[in-house]
Amino acid sequence: MLPDYVITRKKTIVDKILPFIEMILLLIIVQAAIALLTMAPEEEETIRFRVLAHSDAPADQHVKQEIQQSIAPLIEQALASSGSKAEIVDNLEAVEHEIVAIADSLAGGRDISFVRTDALFPPKRSGYFIHPQARYDAYILTIGSGRGDNWWCALFPKVCFPDKEKEDEKVKFFIWEWIKKLFD
């Protein structure tokens, strides 16, 4: 019978350092991925449009939605013929009287105010980016006291948000769905 021999391999310096190099490279890749996914978009001149409802009552929220839907074509038209923030401002000033007239006709006797000012906006997520809470140049259409939920839209660049986000669909996990198909 042959005796068992322990085979030992002499570790070189590369064999000792290689796991540390791999770990450092992995950490750099993870850090780069996190930075790409959480990095805010470049600071650019934005202009926003906000419609504030009188209250959270369903009737007041319905009025806000009607006004928002009625003035949306005017805003879309102003955006379609604009390529810069200055052009958007000029185009919105041209239709300002129409926006106020439409809002006034749908407001049910409530006071309407339409101003351009620096307004504080809450943080919002857009894809993988988070728009921080900050003061933004904005057009604000206030219905009555303006204490209800609001709708806002970033006109330049174009990103619109309802105040309360709705759940679009149920989250599904690929592996779990695959396992369920195996047993169906």
Give tens-digit pLDDT for 145-169: 988 888 877 776 666 644 444 445 6
**Strand 124-126, strand 159-162: pairing:** unpaired
Give tens-digit pLDDT for 72-110: 888 888 888 777 778 888 888 999 999 999 999 998 888
49 strand-pairing partners = 139, 153
Encoded tokens for 167: 């759940």
Q: Name the nearest CA neighbour of 54 among 169, 166, 143.
A: 143
d(CA 135, CA 101): 27
DSSP 169: S
Q: Is the pTM of this model over 0.75?
A: no
